[in-house]
Amino acid sequence: MTDNNNNNSNDEGINEKVEIGSKDESSATTNGTAPSITAASGDTTSVTAQALPSVAADSQSTRRRPVTTHRKTRDYIMTDSFQNTRHVVPDSKRPRAAWCPKMIDAVKENVASKSGLDWLELFFPMTTWLKTYSWRENLLQDFIAGCTVGVMVVPQSMSYAKLAGLPVEYGLYSALVPVYAYAVWGSSRQLAVGPVALVSLLLATGLTHELEKTGHTPENTENYQEMYNQLAIQVSLLVGCMYIGLGLLR
């Protein structure tokens, strides 16, 4: 009987604490403060937990910070609408400034800033690397390397001419003339220029296809080789003009 009475008294005490805690929580919520919940078991254990912040706090402190462009834009619009801020909207009918005068002014400024040496290096890039060329150390070695490449390029260019369907002298022309031209207008003293197998095969395939479309073949046309040579020269001229144009325009 004594144990039952003690248990009943403990239960009543716990119920009273829970009721008091609930009243404190409700009053704290209405006052805008953080409520606290206290639970007790017997006389030795007590746990106190802080509840979440009240939703009745200041709107400025609880507003989430903008993290996206859309949210930032929305906040700007709301701020401008509250402050009655007006922004100048550009007129679409107003004529825009033409880009041509600006480009002309930029070209004039670039031209005026160049000296005579700059113009010489622009049209003759070999003057750029000739200033840093070591004649005593590299002249003999470069001469030997040039002779070696010249010996190799003669049979090589003749075989490339045959691959392109041209006479062998055309191969020699295409191997010697670009070397002298690139030495004057080229920008690298190590680069080797001349005919290659891939270009020869492409040229032969393209010209043969074009002549076959017009009905010209070696069997039914006596001057087929002359026509083929003329087309090859025209293709080379067009490619050369494109290279010169790209070089001048940088």
Domain residue limits at 132: 120-249
Residue 6 pLDDT more than 80?
no
Pair 129, 210 in one domain: yes
Pair 23, 139 in one domain: no
Q: Is residue 111 part of a domain?
A: no
Q: Is residue 95 part of a domain?
A: no
Instruction: Please tell me the predicted confidence (pLDDT) of residue 163.
Output: 92
pLDDT top residue among 154 and 192: 154
Number of domains present in the structure of the chain: 2
Q: Is residue 85 part of a domain?
A: no
CB 133 within 8 A of CB 188: no
Instruction: Please tell me the predicted confidence (pLDDT) of residue 95.
Output: 55
Instruction: Please tell me the predicted confidence (pLDDT) of residue 104.
Output: 84
Pair 134, 46 in one domain: no
Q: Is residue 98 part of a domain?
A: no
C-alpha span between 60 and 47 (Å, rounded) = 33
Q: Is residue 88 part of a domain?
A: no
Query: What are the pLDDT digits (tens) for 193-242?
Result: 888 899 999 999 999 999 988 888 888 888 899 999 999 999 999 998 99
The pLDDT > 70 percentage for the chain reads 68
Residue 132 pLDDT more than 80?
yes
How are beta strands 45-50 and 36-41 bridged, if at all? antiparallel
Taking each helix axis from N to C end, the angle separating 168-185 and 224-249, rounded to the nearest 10 degrees, works out to 10
Tell me the pLDDT of the chain averaged across its residues. Answer: 74
Could you tell me the two tokens for 148? 């070696």
Q: Is residue 155 part of a domain?
A: yes
Which sign does the torsion angle of CA 176, 178, 180, 182 carry?
negative
Instruction: Please tell me the predicted confidence (pLDDT) of residue 90.
Output: 62
